[in-house]
Every structure is written in structure tokens, then in C-alpha cells.
Amino acid sequence: MGRDFIREAVEGDIAPGGRFAGVKVHTRFPPEPNAYLHIGHAKALWIDYGIAQDFGGLFNLRFDDTNPTREEQEFVDAIIEDVKWVGANWDDRLFFASDYFDAIYAWAIELIKKGKAYVCDLNSDLVTDYRGTLTAPGKDSPYRNRSVEENLDLFDRMRKGEFPDGSRTLRAKIDMAHANLNMRDPVMYRILHAEHHRQGSKWCVYPMYDWAHGFEDSIEGVTHSLCSLEYENHRPLYDWFIDAVNAGRSDDGSDAWGKKIHHPRQIEFARLNLTYTMMSKRRLIELVQAKLVNGFDDPRMPTLAGLRRRGYTPEAIHDFCTRIGINKTYSVVDIGLLEHCLREDLNKRANRVMAVLHPIKVVIDNYPDGQVDEISAINNPEDAAAGSRKTPFTKVLYIEADDFREEPPKGFFRLAPGREVRLRYAYFITCKSVVKDAAGNVTELHCTYDPATLGGDAPDGRKVKATLHWVSAEKALKAEVRLYDHLFTKPDPDDAPQGQSWKDNINPKSMEVLTECYVEPSLATAEKGQKFQFERLGYFCVDLDSAPGQLVFNRTVSLKDSWAKVEKKGQKV
């Protein structure tokens, strides 16, 4: 019960009498190494890997590197790191489509010999012309009926590099009038005099994805080729190619062409879309190249590298992938769900610390000069094992500027002239007076504290309505904090008026850098990537740019802020 449609199909396939009865379930994640992985890939990855796990099967990581003009080693390395980080385990099954080029080439020769493929001299434009349209049938290439011998000779010379790029292709002989355009004599090989990141200059012809992909899965024994919806129209072609090779072959290998090759089953599902997010690889590359973000691992990017740097955890991503489910319906998931999964995970594991992002100075007038109280603070109320720590309290402190209002609006519980509040784990303080600069801005608060309230409770039982976070002005560490917001201002970045584009919807305030922040001294030894909850503010992690004495934090996600909601509502009225 509650099983997704793919798992149901797999279950049927491996059941007695099923297509793969008695066979071990085998899946794969087949990225093209031409960009960084994003959260949408994590969904696909988690489906592929999760199904292999659930059925006690095998999972491969395979790079689909059939186009040397856009693939690079940099992306291979980045993808491996990302897949590892997400937590999918391919054991020793890391493969490259390019390692199968010889086998795939041999099958192409076989199809030529079987009269099912031919060398076509039409150039790119003419191939398009001959293909017809969605509603009109195409027409046969004039080269469609070349002899097997001529095709073999020409294809061999294509491989040897005798012809320039684009001058000829090897095509499958299917049906130029087919209602499915993918079946109108698709190109199997194109001539490309390009250096391949693994094959060097060995090849002058490269297989097209459609021709190669089914064989890659076949070679690896993949039972279930899971992919996104746009490949649904291609499935009949993959089946045709495998069937074409298997024609003249038998299970025991006694037929003319030998033994049949494995025929995987492809199942398609809808790719992930997120509100306020762009998932197109092309556009993510564009954002990076146009320097609209600071690289693929910019914490605002939906790339796995970006999410990791932002402070996301693999566990939050797993939870998210599980919750969104699998289907064939176009859908856009609320990014709030991703953030919810993150908060839920971080709430359990991130230690609490105090940090003041927009400091305002507080002087405790009746607190002895030079005195330091080591205040005991709980590291994580959700995890008793996390223990506690000491944090210094002194006469001069910083609190959040937003936690004080000279004229508090209705519903504001925090500090105001004459009001008493609690400083978390420390003392009750009462605001006595305010110091302003020439422009009338509040620069300093003078308060008194009640020594009897050490630890945060009043012996006389009196209550306060607010608890504020604070740091010692003298002992705190100065830090840089980067606040992030959605990269786009609209739930659908493509929602732009006539004449404008998605780029006009980029959020100009997606990053705010605060350089005057103060964090409690216990953070001096925080390591890159380490995650914390800054009490009452949100979850933060130490950025890659951080250095000892030069701490830099990223805001991963804010805490839910019900006061902000109340205040907002008050403004509307």
C-alpha cells in the first residue's frame, strides 16, 4: 500500500511469470557530464537508487558521455562528489558510455548488414526538411537504398575520419511516415572530429543518445531504465533498436547472429519542479556564466553543490524526495516543503548558539565593571546528549536591534523603555533609558539587571513575555553572515510580461551580506560546513570562505517567525 507506480511495476516484473522473474533488480543513474547536478537530479537519483535498495538489487552510476563537444572531466568529478554526498552507493559499478563505443559500433555494423541502417549524405537542414512535420509525413532520403556494401564502406570511412563534420550520418531505416517523429529514420551516428574526455581522438563518429542509451543499459544488465517523461516518445525507438539487434539471434545463441541481448524496461516519471526555482541546466549554466550568481555552488543555486554549501543535509533531501512521491503528472512542488524537511532535520541535530546579526549596544548600568559571569546554556533542547556549554555575560552586550522598539506596536512583547525581558539563560533586564545620535537613531540602551534572576527565573515568580538572545560585546567574535532569499521573485520564474524574460524575475535581494555581526566565543573553533541554530534566527552553517578569525556564516534557512507574521498583518490593516 502507498507504493508508487514504478515500484508496483517492478514488483510485477520480478514476480513469477513476470518479465524479469528470477532476475535481480538493477537500476542506474545516467547523468551527462556537461553540468552540475541539481535537486531535480536528486529526485531521479533517489528513485533509481531507492528502488535498487528496496528490492535488494544493484545500482550503477554511469556517465552518458556520447557528445565530446560539451562534456568535461570537471563535471564528472563534481557529479561523483554530489552523488556520493546524496548517499547513493554504486559500489564498484562506475561506468562510462564511452567504454561501450566498440560494442555499440559493432551493433551498428550489424544493422547495416541486416539492411536496417544506411549512410545518408543529406546535410542537417535537408534531414530536417525530409523529416516532415507533426502533421505531414516525411519523405525517404535519396540515399536510403544504398547497397549493404556501399554502406559498410562509407561508414568505415566515416569512422576513419575521411569526411568532414556534418557531411554524412548513419541512419536507421524505419519509416519516414511514422506518426512518432523519433521513428522517421533517426540518426544513429554523426561525424565529429572532436577530442573526447576519455577516448581522446580515437573516434571520428559518435553515437547519438537515442541509439546508444538502450545498449548501455543492456550491456550493464539494467532491468529498469527509469527516466523522465520527455523520453516516453523515444521508448518505441529504444525497443526497435534492441529488437533489430535481436532479430536473427536466439536465447541459446544458435542463430546466425548469436545470442540475444538483454532488453531493459524503461519507465518514465515526471521531473521535479520547484516554486521560485529554475531547474533548466542550460539556464543554470547561463546564470553562472553571466555571473548573476557566484558559481555552480552559490548557496542560492538549486544545484546539489549549492545546497550543500548552503547547509542542506542529505537526510533532508531524502525526506523531501520521499514526500514528493512519484507520478506522471506535471507538477510544481512548493519550495516550502523542501525548507520544512530541512528545518525538521536541523532542529534535531544542530546545536544552538547565540549570534546577533543587527547589533545594538546594551549597557547594564548596575552590573559591576569587569565582571564576567559564565552562563550555562543548553546546546540542543531536542537532544539531551548534546550537553551544555558556558557563554560569557558582561556589562556591555549586544542584542538584536529588532528586539527593541522605542514605541512598541500592539503585540510586541520584546524590549521597550520601562519594559522587563529575559536575556536567554542569563538575567531579567529592564530598559531604563535610550541614547540617540544626532540623527535621532537609537545607538545604545541603558538597562538594569536583577541579580536574583541568574539562570533566567525570578525567585518571586514574576514572568516576562519575551526572551532575547544576546552576546557579550567584549567577548563576542565578529563575523560575516550571508542571508539568502529565493533566487527568483516569482513562484514561476517564467511568469514575465511581454518583452521580459525569466532574468527580469531574478531577485535583486537574494543575497544580503552582513559584516557587523557578533557570535558567541564558542564558535571560534567552528569548522567549515558545521551547522548551528542561531537562537531565534535560523539555521546557519560555516561557509567555505570562512577562516579562523574571519568567520563567515551562511543562513541555511530561517526559523518560523510568527511575530513577523503578526506584524505583517498589522501593517495591512
Partner RNA sequence: UGGGGAAUAGUGUAACGGUAGCACAACUGACUCUGGAUCAGUUAGUUAAGGUUCGAAUCCUUAUUCCCCAGCCA
Residues marked active site are found at 32, 271, 281
105 binds RNA, rule: CB under 7 A: no
For residues 544 and 564, which CB has a smaller minimum distance to RNA in the complex? 564
- Cite the DSSP H helix spans in 114-208: 124-131, 148-160
Q: Which residues contact 185 (CB under 8 A, 6 or more apart)?
A: 120, 138, 140, 141, 144, 171, 172, 173, 174, 175, 176
- State the minimum distance, in angstroms, from the CB of residue 430 to RNA: 16
Given 80, 270, 363, 496, the residue binding RNA (CB under 7 A): 270
43 backbone dihedrals φ, ψ, rounded to 5°: -60, -50
- State the minimum distance, in angstroms, from the CB of residue 210 to RNA: 6
- Cite the DSSP H helix spans in 114-232: 124-131, 148-160, 209-220
Given 18, 161, 325, 392, the residue binding RNA (CB under 7 A): 325
Question: Which DSSP state fits 451?
Answer: G
560 backbone dihedrals φ, ψ, rounded to 5°: -65, 135
Q: Are 212 and 173 in contact (CB under 8 A)?
A: no
Given 330, 385, 513, 572, the residue binding RNA (CB under 7 A): 330
Cα–Cα distance measured from residue 52 to residue 47, given in angstroms and rounded to the nearest whole number = 9
5 binds RNA, rule: CB under 7 A: yes
With residue 75 as reference, give the H or E element that holds it.
helix 73-86
Show the cell assigned to 358. 543587527
For residues 381 and 440, which CB has a smaller minimum distance to RNA in the complex? 381
Q: Is 245 exposed, middle or buried (0-12, 13-18, 19+ CB in 10 A)?
A: buried
560 binds RNA, rule: CB under 7 A: yes
Cα–Cα distance measured from residue 25 to residue 45, given in angstroms and rounded to the nearest whole number = 16
Residues 434-463, mask of contacts with RNA (x by CB under 7 A): ---------------------xxx------
Given 122, 301, 541, 542, the residue binding RNA (CB under 7 A): 122
533 binds RNA, rule: CB under 7 A: yes
Stretch that binds RNA, among 51-59, 305-313, 418-426, 475-483 (CB under 7 A): 418-426
Stretch that binds RNA, among 44-52, 74-82, 480-488, 556-564 (CB under 7 A): 556-564
For residues 120 and 260, which CB has a smaller minimum distance to RNA in the complex? 120
Show the cell assigned to 382. 531536542
Stretch that binds RNA, among 283-291, 375-383, 471-479, 514-522 (CB under 7 A): 375-383
Q: Is 19 exposed, middle or buried (0-12, 13-18, 19+ CB in 10 A)?
A: middle
For residues 101 and 298, which CB has a smaller minimum distance to RNA in the complex? 101
Give the Cβ contact number of residue 321 at 10 Å: 23
Interface residues for RNA in 153-212 (CB under 7 A)?
165-169, 179-182, 186-187, 190-191, 206, 208-210
- Hey, which bits of 491-560 come out as E strands? 511-519, 531-534, 538-542, 551-558
64 binds RNA, rule: CB under 7 A: yes
Dihedral angle, C-alpha 380, 383, 385, 388, nearest 10 ° = 20
Given 292, 337, 496, 514, the residue binding RNA (CB under 7 A): 337
131 binds RNA, rule: CB under 7 A: yes
280 binds RNA, rule: CB under 7 A: no
- State the minimum distance, in angstroms, from the CB of residue 237 to RNA: 10
146 binds RNA, rule: CB under 7 A: no
- State the minimum distance, in angstroms, from the CB of residue 450 to RNA: 12
- State the minimum distance, in angstroms, from the CB of residue 309 to RNA: 23
Given 103, 285, 401, 466, the residue binding RNA (CB under 7 A): 466
3-state secondary structure (DSSP) of residue 137: coil
For residues 105 and 563, which CB has a smaller minimum distance to RNA in the complex? 563
Interface residues for RNA in 210-249 (CB under 7 A)?
210, 213, 229-234
327 binds RNA, rule: CB under 7 A: yes
The alpha carbon of residue 556 and the mean position of all alpha carbons in its chain are separated, in whole angstroms, by: 14
The alpha carbon of residue 316 and the mean position of all alpha carbons in its chain are separated, in whole angstroms, by: 12
Q: Quote the Cα angle for 66-71-75, to 5°.
A: 125
- State the minimum distance, in angstroms, from the CB of residue 227 to RNA: 9
43 binds RNA, rule: CB under 7 A: no
Closest CA to 480 of 450, 437, 444, 523: 523
Q: Are 64 and 219 in contact (CB under 8 A)?
A: no
Show the cell assigned to 510. 537574494
562 binds RNA, rule: CB under 7 A: yes
Given 12, 142, 253, 336, the residue binding RNA (CB under 7 A): 336
277 binds RNA, rule: CB under 7 A: no
Cα–Cα distance measured from residue 90 to residue 62, given in angstroms and rounded to the nearest whole number = 9
99 binds RNA, rule: CB under 7 A: no
3-state secondary structure (DSSP) of residue 48: helix
387 binds RNA, rule: CB under 7 A: no
- State the minimum distance, in angstroms, from the CB of residue 119 to RNA: 11
- State the minimum distance, in angstroms, from the CB of residue 306 to RNA: 21
Interface residues for RNA in 352-371 (CB under 7 A)?
352
For residues 277 and 380, which CB has a smaller minimum distance to RNA in the complex? 380
Given 412, 449, 518, 540, the residue binding RNA (CB under 7 A): 412
Cα–Cα distance measured from residue 100 to residue 480, given in angstroms and rounded to the nearest whole number = 50
Cα–Cα distance measured from residue 49 to residue 115, given in angstroms and rounded to the nearest whole number = 39
How distant, in Å, are the alpha carbons of 5, 20, 484 from that of 488?
A: 33, 45, 11
Given 193, 202, 259, 323, the residue binding RNA (CB under 7 A): 323
Size of the site for RNA (CB under 7 A): 93
Stretch that binds RNA, among 149-157, 341-349, 436-444, 475-483 (CB under 7 A): 341-349
Question: Which DSSP state fits 407?
Answer: S
- State the minimum distance, in angstroms, from the CB of residue 455 to RNA: 4
